[in-house]
Amino acid sequence: MTAAPSQPVDERFGLGRRVRLPAPLTLASGQNLSGLEIAYETYGTLSAAADNAILVCHALTGDQHVASLNPKTGKPGWWARLIGPGLPIDPARHFIICANVLGGCAGSTGPASPDPATGDRFAMRFPVITIQDMVAAQARLLDHLGIQTLAAVIGGSMGGMQALAWAAYHPTRVRAVIAIAAAARHSAQNIAFHEVGRQAIMADPRWQQGDYAPDQPPAAGLAVARMAAHITYLSEEGLTSRFGRQLQDRAALGFGFDADFQVESYLRHQGLSFVDRFDANSYLYITRAMDYFDLAEPHGGVLADAFRPAAIAGTRFVLISFTTDWLYPTPESKRIVRALHAAGAQASFVELESPYGHDAFLLEAPEMNRIVQGFLASHG
């Protein structure tokens, strides 16, 4: 039987909360993390049976502000096209939860948080974390809310990894999984791009081995890391269509190293705007967690074995990929679907046409919305 929620569940749209969970969290590394805090938002009302909860998992640079205005940037929620009144994930039907991941910098415990033992910021003394640890922290949050079983867990990119990890590590607590533009492991190419970003941050003189002052972050290094990563979120087709070789605010080449091309100016803007909302040490820790991700590794490299308990539990899956996504390309999703079928799970797969690369899952994608809505209607 599901326990009653330990606090009232408010039905206002986008209610932000922060909870401290005192019991230590044992991490995959074997270390214990005490004083865990989780920042999260909820939308809708939890049913009396606590059976209508949907957990939304965010990507690397996302946060808990999934469908309401971000108080820091003033921008709409990062998945406001998918979640909201009249949309596929509707607070009129679902109780929607989105939490800032463990290691994040939007209110959940991470490198910028104070160490309960010393009162000083963790910085690089924060323990190395994994996707499994992020999911374990989310499970603690659900326990706090009195939710034993999720109607569904959904995410794109790193959020999709978390959704798959829920099925692998908590198979009896998930009825349905929607993994979009995701993978079951990080490839050598993925790891390589992340390492470039980490090295850019650590090479910044302001990084100070992670002990930088909050008002003097390694902004230049973090901006370069964001620029390099952002390229992987796009596609050649999209970049060419949007920018081509068009010059930025000039009629001829400048014969210097200012931003001659529009695409250069765009990337610089992406880098500079990112440093205003993200912590450099969090970037190091979260990218490392993604690099460590490999659901098959604990099972001797047999991915099907990772999903077998979820198949037995009756968890249903849908995988969605995009044609121009070269960060987590379609063959990665197909590999997961083959493993799910080998495990005996009910799984479907759709590849969608899009010129926008990996970021397609965050942009206007009516076909994706229809798939999510149909899947939840039939399996919700």
Active-site positions read 157, 325, 358
- DSSP letter string over 301-339? T-HHHHHHHHHHHT-EEEEEEETT--SS-HHHHHHHHHH
- Residues 201/225, Cβ–Cβ less than 8 Å: yes
Angle, vertex CA 376, rays to CA 294 and CA 370, nearest 5: 95
What is the spatial distance between Cα 152 and Cα 4, in angstroms, rounded to a whole number? Answer: 20
- Residue 356 · residue 317 · CB < 8 Å: no
Q: Which burial class, exposed, middle or buried, applies to 338 when counting CB atoms under 10 A from its CB (0-12, 13-18, 19+)? A: middle
Q: How many CA atoms lie within 13 A of 334 on its CB side?
A: 6
Q: Compute the residue count for the chain.
A: 380
Residue 141: closest CA among 284, 320, 19, 315: 19
* CA triple 353-359-365, angle to 5 deg: 50
